[in-house]
Structure 1
């Protein structure tokens, strides 16, 4: 056993997020954690990693087990170079290797009891070194760096100067090089391109240890895990399902269907019992005592009828009481994103026109003579490796950065709705309601109706501060603001990042029916496969259309 979670409870104020979580992870278990945004997935990983505390329950990790944790938000790595991170990650193994060499040297001249002691120590050290793949360390460093697309990066490169995607890959590489017994990964694919995702899937499939992964990437969960743990949004407990994501989805659908059928059957039984009791009561009321001449007949038949009715009523009441004491709970209404984008019409066939756009950082050319147009109904998806310049191009289109050459022209009637790669809400102390209403015209009641109507939040969420929200909930708040702004042009940078799977699927549908042009950047293979438009690759600073 690598990990045991027993009865873990975590609440934030009056809001319970986790309530009696039980979980065991053994070596070679690859567990994917799913649930709606705010269900407590990241909180659970933080508690296991020791980065947060539980209000009740326990987390047990044997002393000999090492744990590695990759949070959703990449650390700053302030001042560190790639070489620094590699050295830190493998430092223990290098120290172990050095001690092995020192003991081997000492054995050459030792005798008697001293030699026996050194032989014992060498055997223990060698076994530990082998168990941690120390003899394969240099090859593993090369493999991990190459697999995550970092092989060509100078080791003296300061990590703070890298793009968001490159920083995330560096953080993941540093963790994998530690080779812990238990890996805790929170949304590890958010900043990975196709090649690095494929490599990571293969690497994790062969990983000799336990893995717990929080992810919204459906294909990744299909390929990288062998069980799914769902945190229920209502009960706040965790239920485990064997198999990958598709197996879990099928099991959930069957489970929900059976639950709804059992609830409907029991409701019908309750209605029938109550009907029987009411009918019996009416019969008793109608069975009045007869006039004197009919007393004999009444005594002979009426009392028997009365007794039978009373017996049936008692049986029905007892059965009703048994069911009401332990009823099948009503299946909770599924929370769904149901919003539709509204937009004012664009008064031009050409909405975005880019001519000869170029951008470099020092000697590094990021964009080289980029030209394209996006029409009123255009759909354009950009794909590229991390660091290729996708986000840079979007920032130039939005006027957030200045190009070295070229121009960007937007039609005057364009109202752009922009979703950045990372949640970017300016004041973490604002409430959900205040942040949603920022810059909008309307009453609080209208804003509350909008947030609840979208299926993003519940009434009790309105007074939460932004800093109390998970990254996924912050993303949903940004989506709500995006919809309320009524844009007629969408520019989306990794739009599926941090969103739970139910919201992702509904958002994909909303984008497909959006009446204006859409320019999106994504690495989400599921999203890309279903994107209804042109797909362009950005390579060596140039745009190339993919078939």
Structure 2
């Protein structure tokens, strides 16, 4: 919602602009001297790895936290959607709506007062009233004060809150309803600019479509942090990538698809430069090792050589020394400026494992049901099949997946696995049996069929390998779970919302690995980008039956 903040901008402007911005927490540098600008009508997506500082940057832009250095310019007021809800539990929806509309009511009152004063017989009062009226009219037009009440109803309906009684207190709402209500206050207020942190969380497809349409018609600048690839592809006119490997911030013009092409090209160039440098390092090391024996003075001497060998020996030794020193200096320079190893592509199913799997059913379910959660369902998945399970919230996607993994209860039906197969299961929520265990300790308990280390997979930073997993973010925990699945080398993968809480880079890598896999895969997902690009089979579960109240 529009907010007054303890750390105001350096200047009010029509764009959101930050220059040479820096922030650290103690010895940990979040980012240093980053700059970007979003002009009116521009919508910049803010992306980056988990912990890269996206939420921190948004808070610095709106002024809820201070900056260590740099300047910020932005319009006023600015609408801010954060991930922490600001409402007290006993506040009603109607009270929140009225509080949101209060600044608009004040603009309306100022406009009315100024219009009255325009008729003053005192020329000075009338002249001052004209300036006041012009400013109030400009604010009124920007906030569209004449449609404020209808806009409130429209926004609530668009975010699937229209049927919720406005007399209900926040404490009686679900987590998803609370998040949507906060987003509604930002849109109802119609601020001059917006800074949005994960605005599509807890939105269904219809609500996301409404938000997309609203932002496309919004005249002010917008900066939005999001992991929602479909949303980014439909909204953004540019992408800000907080990528530590690129030394801070990189601004990409164009939409999300253009950003993806640029990132893929950068990764290909990175891999090429890395391989070329490694080849040069190998060649230099080989030259150092072989210089002495390849120099002519080490060959077998002929009789006539013996007379001149004494005179030439010193010169040859000097040549050898110079060549070795030059090669060592070159090697030292290469190692000093060694290009970091690029990440390997994720692989869940090797060709060797594929060759051991015979055709036929891998998992089958007949008449499986869970009262109130999953209607009677039949499904059979054969070797090499890729199946996507879709459906509205509450249709039973997670329930079915857990049942197929033999990790969830069933009231009826039979589930059969092919004898001898390994089944890997990634639940939607990672439950910590012991939060004091480290990622490395957890990984060591998994049957490591591929004989790989967790560090080699590149999913977890080396500094986090021996931290208690309870201290890690949800996204980092899912990375550990993915690492365990890869090491298990399962014959069948069951993945419940696999792209949740993952950075865009890892999400893209995961999707490529799944699409290219020759293994048997069953996925339950609401990810519209994944669903739009899926090339396998689909099973759509129906809406849940209404429960008696």
Give the TM-score normalised by structure 2: 0.72
Equivalent position of 2:243 in the other structure? 232
Change (3 A) 1:17 1:297: closer
2:342 to 333, 339, 346: 333
Cα distance between partner residues in 1 of 2:433 and 2:61: 30
Matches within 5 A, 1:137-536: 137-234=148-245, 237-269=248-280, 281=292, 283=295, 286=298, 302=312, 309=319, 313=323, 316=326, 320=330, 324=334, 327=337, 329-334=338-343, 338=347, 349-350=365-366, 352-354=368-370, 357=371, 371-375=375-379, 377=381, 381-384=389-392, 389-390=394-395, 394=399, 408-409=411-412, 419-420=427-428, 430-431=435-436, 433=438, 437=442, 442=445, 451-452=454-455, 455-464=458-467, 468-477=471-480, 492=496, 494-505=497-508, 520=524, 522-527=526-531, 529-530=533-534, 532-536=537-541
Partner of 1:404: none
SS at match of 2:342: coil
Query: Which one of 18, 25, 47 corresponds to residue 38 of structure 2?
Result: 25
Say whether the 8 Å CA contact 1:451–1:480 is kept in structure 2. Answer: yes
Preserved contact between residue 260 and residue 331 of structure 1 (Cα < 8 Å): no
- Change in CA separation of 1:89 and 1:419 when aligned onto 2, cut-off 3 Å: farther
| 1:3 aligns with one of 17, 21, 37 | 17
Once superposed, what is the RMSD of the aligned Cα atoms?
5.0
CA contact (8 A) 1:336 1:456 kept: no
Distance 1:130 1:411, change over 3 A: same
Give how far 1:167 is off. Answer: 2.9
| Pair 1:288–1:452, CA change in 2 (3 A) | closer
Q: Which has the higher contact order (CA 8 A, sep 6+)?
A: 1
Flag the 1:162–1:376 CA change in 2: closer, same or farther, 3 A. farther
For the Cα contact (< 8 Å) 2:17–2:38, is it kept in 1? Answer: yes
Q: Cα distance, 1:227 vs. partner?
A: 1.5
Q: Which moved more, 1:262-271 or 1:314-323?
A: 314-323
Following the alignment from structure 2 to structure 1, what is the Cα–Cα distance between the partners of residues 366 and 447?
A: 38
Q: What displacement does 1:88 show?
A: 2.2
Q: Deviations over 1:240-259 (max 9, x none)?
A: 22212221221122223233
CA gap of 1:99–1:352, structure 2 versus 1, over 3 A, is same
146-155 vs 197-206, greater mean Cα deviation: 146-155
* Distance verdict in 2 for CA 1:540–1:90, change over 3 Å: farther
1:183–1:211 CA contact under 8 A, matched in 2: yes
Q: How many positions carry a matched residue from both structures?
A: 503
Instruction: Give CA deviations for 1:398-450 in whole Å, capped at 9, x if unaligned.
Output: 9xxxxxxxx93365989996734x776688xx44617984xx9949999x977
Cα deviation code 1:71-92 (max 9, x no counterpart): 3455565223322222222221
Task: Determine the C-alpha separation between the residues in 2 that align with 1:454 and 1:271.
Answer: 24
Task: Give the conservation status (yes or no) of the 8 Å contact 1:2–1:181.
Answer: no
Alpha-carbon distance between aligned partners in 2 of 1:347 and 1:36, rounded to the nearest angstrom: 35
1:18 shift after superposition: 3.2
Cα deviations by residue, 1:88-129 (Å, 9 ceiling, x for unpaired): 222211111122223333444553322332232222222222
Contact kept, 8 Å, 2:277 with 2:339, in 1: the verdict is no
- The 1:372–1:337 alpha-carbon spacing in structure 2 relative to 1, beyond 3 Å, is same
Structure 2 CA distance for aligned equivalents of residues 371 and 294 of structure 1 = 96
Distance in 1 (alpha carbons) for counterparts of 2:376 and 2:424: 18
Measure the CA separation in 2 of the matches of 1:523 and 1:442: 31
Structure 1 length-normalised TM: 0.72
Gaps of at least 5 residues in structure 1 are: 359-366, 399-406, 543-547
Judged with a 3 Å threshold, the aligned counterparts in structure 2 of structure 1 residues 459 and 541 are, in CA distance, closer, same or farther, namely same
Shift of the 202–332 alpha-carbon distance from structure 1 to 2, 3 Å rule, reads farther
Return closer, same or farther for 1:200/1:46 CA change in 2, 3 Å cut-off. same
Work out whether 1:61 is the aligned partner of 2:73: yes
**1:503 & 1:318 partners in 2: Cα distance?**
38
Alpha-carbon distance in structure 2 between the residues aligned to 1:286 and 1:252? 51
CA contact (8 A) 1:8 1:18 kept: yes
- Contact 1:4/1:23 (CA < 8 Å) preserved in 2? yes
Deviation readout 1:191-211 (Å, 9 max, x if unpaired): 222222222222222222222
Most deviating of 483-492 and 531-540: 483-492
Q: How far apart in 2 are the matches of 1:232 and 1:114?
A: 56
Q: Which runs of 5+ in 2 are unaligned?
A: 1-14, 354-360, 404-409, 418-422
Q: Relative to 1, partners in 2 of residues 1:266 and 1:389: Cα closer, same or farther, differing over 3 Å? A: closer
Deviation at 1:4, TM superposition (A): 0.3
> What's the CA shift string for 1:154-180, capped at 9, x where partnerless?
332334433443333222111122233
Task: Report the CA distance between 1:270 and its aligned residue.
Answer: 5.2
